[in-house]
Amino acid sequence: MEVKFWGVRGSIPTPEADRLRYGGNTTCLEIGAPDLREPVIIDCGSGIRALGDELLKRQARRFHILLSHFHWDHIQGLPSFAPLFQPGTDITIYSNRSTLESCLLLAAQMADPYFPVLFGEVGAQLDFKQVDCGKEFTIGSLKIEPFQLNHPQGAVGFRIESEGRAMVHASDHEAGVAEIDAGLVRVARDSELLVMDAQYTPEEYPPKVGWGHSSYAHAADAAKAAGVKQLMLFHHDPAHSDTFLDQMLADAQKLFATTGMACEGKAFEI
């Protein structure tokens, strides 16, 4: 299984020069497996635009999109996802909302006068599926378990397993609710990779309690409790420059040695 980051930033894209080494696009990941010809995508932040261009080059015609939630930074790239406008393309979108609600929420950002093409007029065939936390489903060889995160208006994480190895995606999560934190540790237990919200430093976090995001110390605590092999800090704050993220990474590695910083364009083999 391969994990590739196409967008790692939270809240809003950051095209500033001092934020481009780690990446300025909002959240989007691609999951691939040797026997899986249908790419699996997590979230539709602005990073999905470049991914869409790459998928056209590959002549891929079927995709699966897992949505953690519908906040703007996780859906804003969908109208710029080139395969959405290609006849003969099939896209299945999974979320924890009802199929009708998911369709309406995504259609809203392309409604007149926000976008020149209405959601109902795109060329691709769209299918919507509702998923439930704790209920596993499969896409090809991938076993996927959604689980609850602590975030305003709700969000879900995903444990994705292939050939006995797993990665866990836990973006947009605020530590501090015991039951939800325990659930995250359970699904991440002994996984190869935990990609987790670490938007803040411990010093930045106190005035932002309730905003729905964690510090790198919270992420390190979860990684240690779950016994994961590698932690990847994710959902970078738009105010954090590359130099600032370098220091965050160095400090986080003092708490959990095998910590990395999610970087746009980087791929990991699991």
* All structural domains of the chain with their residue ranges: 2-269
Note the CATH number of domain 2-269. Answer: 3.60.15.10
pLDDT at 35: 66
pLDDT in tens, the chain (270 residues): 999 999 999 999 999 999 999 999 999 999 987 667 789 999 999 999 999 999 999 998 999 999 999 999 999 999 999 999 999 999 999 999 999 999 999 999 999 999 999 999 999 999 999 999 999 999 998 999 999 999 999 999 999 999 999 999 999 999 999 999 999 999 999 999 999 999 999 999 999 999 999 999 999 999 999 999 999 999 999 999 999 999 999 999 999 999 999 999 999 999
Asked whether the CA dihedral 138, 139, 141, 144 is positive or negative, the reply is negative
pLDDT at residue 37 in the model = 78
Residue 260 class from Cβ within 10 Å (0-12 exposed, 13-18 middle, 19+ buried)?
A: middle
The whole-number pLDDT of residue 43 equals 98
Total residue length of the chain: 270
Cβ-proximal residues to 154 (8 Å cutoff; 6+ apart), any chain: 69, 96, 148
